[in-house]
Amino acid sequence: MTKDDVVVVEVARVLLDAAGQDDLAAQVRAERRAFDALAEAYFHDPERSLAGTDSGGGYLRFGIPGIEELLTPIFLAAAAEVVGYLTRRGVDVTRRIVRGTLPAPAETPELTREQWTHVREVLVTALMKHAKMSRRRAETIAAAVVGDGLTGE
C-alpha cells in the first residue's frame, strides 16, 4: 500500500464509523471487524471489489447473514476520490479528517460549503453506482456521514 492508500484507508474508516447509525449499525459493526481484510482486498483488485452482483466474481462478501452489500469498498472508492479532490485544491485537512473529526462540529475541517457539498455528492454517487442504492437512500447515508449542517442543506 502506498502512503496515499493509507490516507484513503483512514478516511474510509472514518466514513464507515460515521455511517454506523440507525439501520446500518449492525452492518457497520460487522464491517469494522473485517475492515482491514476488506481494504486489502480492495487495493488488490478495486474493480472486483466494486463489481456488484454480475458475473466475474461478484461483490466482495463475507458470511454474515443479511449482509449482501458491503459499504467498505464503496467508502474506499469514495475516499480515494475525496482525498484526490482535496489534494488538488491544496486543502490540508486530511490528518484532521483521519483523526475522526468528520463530522464533529467542534473540529470540522475547514472546507468551504462548496467543498463539503462535493464530498457529500461523491459519497452519494458512489453509493448509487456501486451499491445500486436509490438516490434517496444514498442521500440519507451521505447526510449521516457528512452531516447536513456542513453543506448548508
Contact 42, 71 (CB under 8 A): no
- 42 Cβ partners below 8 Å, 6+ apart? 49, 60, 72, 73, 76, 77
pLDDT tens digits, one per residue of 91-116: 665 555 554 545 444 444 567 788 88
C-alpha cell at 107: 473540529
pLDDT tens digits, one per residue of 41-64: 899 888 888 875 544 344 444 443
Q: Classify residue 128 as exposed, middle or buried by CB count within 10 Å of its CB (0-12, 13-18, 19+).
A: middle
pLDDT tens digits, one per residue of 115-146: 888 888 999 998 888 888 889 988 888 887 87
Distance CA 8, CA 96 (A): 13
The pTM for the full model equals: 0.72
